[in-house]
Amino acid sequence: MTERKDPICRASMEILGRVTEDGPGNVFSRAAQMKPCPIGVGGNCCRLCNMGPCRIGEGKGQSSTGVCGETTETIVARNFARMVAAGTAAHSDHAREVVQALLATARGQASGLTIRDVARLRSLALELGLNKDEKDPLKLAELVGQCLLAEFGRQDGEIRFAGRAPERRQALWRTLGVIPRGIDREVVELLHRTHMGVDQDAAHLTRQSTRTALADGWGGSMIASQVQDVLFGAPHPVRSKVNLGVLSEDRVNVVIHGHEPLMPEVLVALACDPAWNEKAKAAGAQGINVVGICCTANELLMRRGLPVAGSFLQQELAISTGAVEVMVVDVQCVMQGLAGVAACHHTTLVTTSEKAHIPGALHRPFTPENAVSRAEEIVALAIENFKRRGEVYIPPHTLDLVARFTHESVRYTLGGTYRGSYRPLVDNIVNGRIKGICAVVGCTNPRLRAGEMHAQVVRELIANDVLVLSTGCAAINCAKEGLMVPEAASLAGPGLREVCEAVGIPPVLHFGSCVDNSRLLEAVCALVREGGLGDDLSELPVVGCAPEWVSEKVIAIGHYFVASGIPVGLGVSFPTLGSTGFTEHLGRGMEEELGAGWFYEPTAAGMAGRIIGIISQRRQRLGIEKGRERVLFDMEMRRKLDV
């Protein structure tokens, strides 16, 4: 048993203070009970065959090879590769569902789904070289859907969206042989090569990890974001609210959680229907309130301005308020612990993906065909549950946020007088008002004081004129810190502040969910296309980091950033520290090969310093750096900077 690390979020702490120790527990109490395995943490445990499991390492008295003779380096590289494969599979399987929903919509088989953004559909069709004369959006959607579905099973050639990368990057990928052929093919090959007794050269294996990760960022994730835009409309900036206080005391609360926005979109539409709100009133409530957790929250926030109840670590706490009638979950980042917490309240946990069942949950699988009837069933259940509500405590904490930024809306927002251009952003980077850009992504982790590292890193970055783009639970965290409102510009350095105030944007821009990390790739490609900052992504003063990462998806995301020329830092722990040689390969080796490497910084000051250092180095190489003293943060400054 270790000491429980409390999150910095006040709303979460209030709930934690109310849950009893003999209750079902939560992620914070379980993290305190379970010390991380000292062997697994560095990636040097292999259980790939029945001669093992083998624990190997570089320390005194540790065996340096497994029973089969495999070295520490190979084992660590293989574990890393499997994380990339799992992360890519998760994003890409999400994308497949979305493309299939597009096809069902095109064929008139989907209930409650429609093509909301025909202009986006047409531009996609044009990019994919499909029949540009086709006037009927449904016929065009069929063509686009078929074409994108083929990206998963393609055996040869290059995935289509790799062509969006700058030409120099594509040429480098071709030289290295890492442009993905088909999304599924790369995942399968990587898993095959990590089977016992196959690819035992760590660097060679990592090339396939690179190819697979690129199949995520420029394949699965990009397809998911694009097709969701077609189905649900492209996002434009909007104000909303964040934290557990968005749950309602007098309305029926339905919490949607997971990653795929298909069913939640239909649910949200239903919750706005006056007839269903009348039914809620007949049950004694004032109406229906749908809010989100994790990336479903980000998806619905991006397109409908839906309030966000919390990040990954708040899923159980939301139910512990006693105010949740139904929590609807699909895939990824859904804790099994939810079932135990729900059982202590009147909450029904509903699983909607055929891929993900949870013992104790009600399983109501969603298909595009049954979306409306399923949504009706779930809302009816929630209204019924409202009558059984017991004691409720909703922490009265919410903050405003401005969300829904994409590379298109950034071009529009920062476009200046003439609109629709990345020129002003490039000019502001060149003149040093904006020193660079950092993508802060990933999860929140109970191994740290959750939220603290995000908050500290981001505050230090913006104070040093680094524009922050954020996705996933990192974005929710930044919003809970009050960093996603235009008023937060007062926390930025003088240059960034001036730009933010001139155009009325926050210094930290919400870029969406985990699959929307592909939007970050699009944004940085747009910077290169604009000209003036080099002709490859590896020249841009742009860095990525995941200070509190949890999921394997973060490793896939990080690796496609690195493979695209953007260095990435991890906090908490680094998954390959068990092998010095392989960790160096991911750092210096990748830097030499792809122009960007991985790095590890467990402290906020270290992470911010490293990011600012890389940005400054890249600015020097571009010949645009004018020295300026780094603003270092101590605790006193952080307190004063509270929004």
The contact set with ligand SF4 (CB under 6 A) reads 46-49, 51-54, 66-68, 70, 75, 196
Backbone angles phi, psi at 641, to 5 degrees: -85, 0
Q: How far is the CB of 49 from ligand SF4 (least distance, A)?
A: 3
Residue 294 binds to ligand MSK (criterion: CB under 6 A)? yes
Residues counted in the chain: 643
What amino acid is encoded at 283 in this protein? A
Q: Is 484 exposed, middle or buried (0-12, 13-18, 19+ CB in 10 A)?
A: buried
| Residue whose tokens read 């922050």 | 468
- Whole-number Å distance between alpha carbons of 252 and 279: 11
Cα–Cα nearest to 469, from 442, 490, 451, 445: 442
Quote the CA–CA distance of 532 and 288 in Å, as a whole number.
51
CB of 196 to ligand SF4, least distance (A): 4
Q: Is 640 exposed, middle or buried (0-12, 13-18, 19+ CB in 10 A)?
A: exposed
Q: How far is the CB of 48 from ligand SF4 (least distance, A)?
A: 4
Return the number of the residue (79 or 564) whose C-beta is nearest ligand SF4: 79
- Residue 310 backbone class (left: φ over 0; alpha: ψ -120 to 50; beta: rest): left
Rounded to a whole number of angstroms, the minimum distance from the CB of residue 586 to ligand SF4 is: 20
Q: Where are the alpha helices (DSSP H) in 194-236?
A: 202-215, 221-232
Q: Where does this chain touch ligand MSK (CB under 6 A) — which range of 70-78, 122-130, 201-209, 545-553?
A: 545-553
Q: How far apart are the first and last CA of the chain?
A: 35
Residues 424, 442, 507, 565: which binds ligand MSK (CB under 6 A)? 442
CB of 606 to ligand MSK, least distance (A): 22
Amino acid found at 71: T
Q: From ligand MSK, ligand SF4, none, which one binds at residue 622 (CB under 5 to 8 Å depending on kind)?
A: none
Shorter beta-carbon distance to ligand SF4: residue 75 or 533:
75
For residue 51, the partner it binds in ligand MSK, ligand SF4, none, with Cβ less than 5 to 8 A by kind, is ligand SF4
Neighbours of 400 (CB within 10 A): 14
67 vs 143 by CB, closer to ligand SF4: 67
**Which of the choices ligand MSK, ligand SF4, none does residue 53 contact, using the CB cut-off of 5 to 8 A by kind?**
ligand SF4
Among 551, 564, 576, 579, binds ligand MSK (CB under 6 A): 551
153 binds, among ligand SF4, ligand MSK, none (CB under 5 to 8 A by kind): none
Query: What's the Cα-to-Cα distance from 230 to each of 99, 145, 351, 574, rounded to whole Å?
Result: 10, 11, 26, 37
Q: Which does 323 bind (CB under 5 to 8 A by kind): ligand SF4, ligand MSK, none?
A: none
**Is residue 295 within the footprint of ligand MSK (CB under 6 A)?**
yes
Looking at the Cβ atoms of 252 and 403, the one nearer to ligand MSK is 403
Q: Name which of 53 and 153 has its Cβ closer to ligand SF4.
A: 53
The region that residue 333 occupies, defined by phi over 0 for left and psi between -120 and 50 for alpha, beta otherwise, is left
CB atoms within 10 A of CB 494: 10
Q: How many CB atoms lie within 10 A of CB 606?
A: 15
Cis amide bond preceding 53, omega within 30: yes
| Rounded (10°) CA dihedral 141, 146, 148, 149 | 130
Q: For residues 262 and 97, is the Cβ–Cβ distance under 8 A?
A: yes
Residues touching ligand MSK, count (CB under 6 A): 15
> Which residues fall within 8 angstroms of residue 193, CB to CB, at 6 or more apart?
81, 199, 205, 208
> Taking CB within 5 to 8 Å according to partner kind, which of ligand MSK, ligand SF4, none is near residue 472?
ligand MSK
Handedness of CA 376, 377, 379, 383 (dihedral sign): positive
Select from ligand MSK, ligand SF4, none the partner in contact with residue 295, using the beta carbon and a kind-dependent cut-off of 5 to 8 Å.
Answer: ligand MSK
In the complex with ligand MSK, the residue whose CB is nearer, 288 or 550, is 550
- Of 255 and 473, the one with the shorter C-beta distance to ligand MSK is 473
Q: Which CB, 51 or 119, lies closer to ligand SF4?
A: 51
538 binds ligand MSK per the rule CB under 6 A: no
Q: How far is the CB of 517 from ligand MSK (least distance, A)?
A: 9
Select from 172, 514, 521, 596 the one that contacts ligand MSK (CB under 6 A). Answer: 514
Nearest to 463 by CA among 344, 641, 290: 641
Binding mask 309-328 for ligand MSK (x = CB under 6 A): ---x----------------
Decide which of ligand SF4, ligand MSK, none touches 159; Cβ closer than 5 to 8 Å per partner kind.
Answer: none
Window contacting ligand MSK (CB under 6 A); options: 278-286, 361-369, 550-558, 566-574 = 550-558
Chosen residue from 194, 456, 513, 576 binding ligand MSK by CB under 6 A? 513
- With CA atoms as reference, report the closest residue to 538 among 618, 627, 420, 455: 618
Query: Under DSSP, is residue 455 helix (H, G, I), strand (E, B) or coil?
Result: helix
Asked if 205 touches ligand MSK (CB under 6 A), the answer is no
527 contact choice in ligand SF4, ligand MSK, none (CB below 5 to 8 Å, kind-dependent): none
State the DSSP code for 436. E
CB 445 to ligand SF4: min, Å? 28
Q: Minimum distance between the CB of residue 82 and ligand SF4, rounded to whole angstroms?
A: 12
Q: How many CB atoms lie within 10 A of CB 167?
A: 11
Question: Looking at beta carbons only, is 51 or 643 nearer to ligand SF4?
Answer: 51
Rounded Cα gap, residues 204 and 394, in angstroms: 53
Q: Is 550 in the site for ligand MSK (CB under 6 A)?
A: yes
The one of ligand MSK, ligand SF4, none whose footprint includes residue 52, by CB under 5 to 8 A per kind, is ligand SF4
Rounded least distance, CB 93 to ligand MSK, Å: 14
Please choose, from the candidates 137, 136, 148, 207, the residue with its C-alpha nearest in 3D space to the C-alpha of residue 178. 207
- Best CA proximity match to 327, nearest among 318, 368, 314, 336: 318
Nearest to 165 by CA among 173, 156, 157, 155: 173
Closest to ligand MSK by CB, 425 vs 450, is 450
Binding string to ligand MSK for residues 465 to 494, with x set by CB under 6 A, is what?
Answer: -------xx---------------------
Q: Which does 553 bind (CB under 5 to 8 A by kind): ligand MSK, ligand SF4, none?
A: ligand MSK
568 binds ligand MSK (CB under 6 A): no
Sign of the dihedral defined by the CA atoms of residues 244, 248, 254, 259, in that order? negative
Residue 569 in contact with ligand MSK, rule: CB under 6 A: no
- Binding window for ligand MSK (CB under 6 A); candidates: 133-141, 222-230, 517-525, 546-554: 546-554
**How buried is residue 583: exposed, middle or buried, by Cβ count under 10 Å (0-12/13-18/19+)?**
buried
The residues of the shown chain that bind ligand MSK, judged by CB under 6 A, are 259, 294-295, 312, 332-333, 442-443, 472-473, 513-514, 550-551, 553
